[in-house]
Amino acid sequence: MIKKIGLAIVAPVVAFTFAVGVAVLALLAVGVNPIEAFGLMWDFASTPTSVASIINRSVPLYVAAVAVAIGFQMKLFNIGVEGQYLVAALFAGWVGGSIVLWAPFHVLVVVLVAAGVGALWAGVAGLLKVTRGVNEVVATIMLNFIGFSVIGFFLGNFFSVDSGALNQSTPPLPPSAQIPGLNWIFTLFGFAEPRGTELQGFVIIAILIGIGYHLLVWKTRFGFELRASGMNPGAARMAGVNPKKMILYTMLISGGIAGMVGLSTMLGKLHAFTQDFPRGLGFAGIAVALLGRNNAIGMALGALLFGFMERSALILDLNDIPKEVVQIIQGVVVLSVVIAYEVVARIVKNREIKTASDATQASTAGPQEVTA
């Protein structure tokens, strides 16, 4: 058991080391001292303001990663998190800015609208897959692009407060629909309060999403059926699990979580859906899910790592070091981590099979079947 956990850690460590190695080479190639660069990054990132910023950056990545991971659990690829969260944020922002409610309910309504719209958008792909056999990867990619048009259309024609404005936006969220910041936590633990950055309160909801994800996948019957269909569809069918239902439910849940990706920024900072709303979080979320191997804590670490790199990139820029080196690290780490996991998984499997065949004389299947 310990050996197995050890192997699971080896893969990301090897991959990350390799990625840093590539980054070192890249930095050397442009004449920068890598040690100096990494030192700068670390020093800069360890201030309270940076910590708050890192967490703020990692929250949406984490939520996106969870959305992707739930699909991965049953070998479903939701490449459409990108479109789902943007469409969801648009409608949630519009609804939130258009109604009047008491504070907690107002936030709740915004969150529910976001989750609902995200689920619907992903549900289209799920429905097409179970009814017409359309591959979910292609369908969600197409839905991403359709989503971008939907956003432009509604923002430009219906939802915008000032359709002539350069940066169109939905009506601003009233204070009742905003989630207050959490900078007091820093003072509570005796650190200096971050300046110019507010630790977004949505982080608590993100943690709840992470816990909910873990419980759902590992502690509920549904999660068991989900994982069983992913691991062995044949056995799951024999056990009475309906594969089509599972696909549809999984897409709906994945999309529902994806719908909440943009809320941290919207409810905690921008207070509206704007034309320059942060994009690309869905794709980065896929990377984080791969990095954290669909594990609730692993993905949290992965998201923080990405948040750290993005934040600390700022200081490189100020020192005339190409900050884009962090993107290289991100790209290389994702690619090498999937390769490393694959290799490790094969080693583990071979070892387990070897143990199994050592333990018994008669092989598990007759020779005819083996060679047929």
**Contacts (CB under 8 A) with other proteins, residues 129-148:** 132-135, 137-139, 141-146, 148
* Residue window 205-224: x/- pattern of binding to other proteins, with contact defined by CB under 8 A: -------------xxxxxxx
CA distance linking residue 327 with residue 306, whole number of Å: 9
Which string of x and - marks every residue 301-340 that binds other proteins (by CB under 8 A)?
---------------------xxxxxxxxxxx-xx--xx-
Which candidate, 131, 125, 116, places its Cα nearest to that of 146?
A: 125
Binding to other proteins in span 139-198, by CB under 8 A:
139, 141-146, 148-150, 152-153, 156-157
Q: Report the alpha-carbon distance of residue 343 to residue 332 in Å, rounded.
A: 16
Contacts of 307 (CB under 8 A, 6+ apart): 53, 54, 55, 56, 57, 58, 61
Which residue's CB is nearer to other proteins, number 276 or number 352?
352
Size of the site for other proteins (CB under 8 A): 90
* Footprint on residues 60-89 left by other proteins (CB under 8 A): 77, 79
| Min dist. Cβ of residue 280 to other proteins (A) | 9
Nearer to other proteins, 121 or 202 (CB): 121
The tokens for 224 are 């068991």
SS3 274: strand
The total of other beta-carbon atoms located within 10 Å of residue 299's CB is 28
User: Which tokens belong to 326?
Assistant: 């962090």
Backbone dihedral region for residue 135 (phi beyond 0: left; psi -120 to 50: alpha; all else: beta): beta
Nearer to other proteins, 180 or 366 (CB): 366
Which residue, 132 or 190, has its beta carbon nearer to other proteins? Answer: 132
- Asked if 8 is part of the footprint of other proteins (rule: CB under 8 A), the reply reads no
Q: Which two tokens stand for residue 308?
A: 């750290």
Which residue, 67 or 199, is less far from other proteins as judged by CB?
Answer: 67
Q: Are 129 and 313 in contact (CB under 8 A)?
A: no
Nearer to other proteins, 43 or 342 (CB): 342
Does 359 contact other proteins by CB under 8 A? yes
Selected binder of other proteins within 2, 30, 100, 166 (CB under 8 A): 30
Q: Which residue is associated with the tokens 């034309």?
A: 275
Residues within window 337-356 making contact with other proteins, judged by CB under 8 A: 338-339, 342-343, 349, 352-353, 355-356
Of 165, 347, 200, give the one whose Cα is nearest residue 270.
200
Backbone Cα Rg of the chain: 23
Among 290, 296, 303, 305, binds other proteins (CB under 8 A): 290
Residue list 96-135, contact with other proteins (CB under 8 A): 128, 132-135
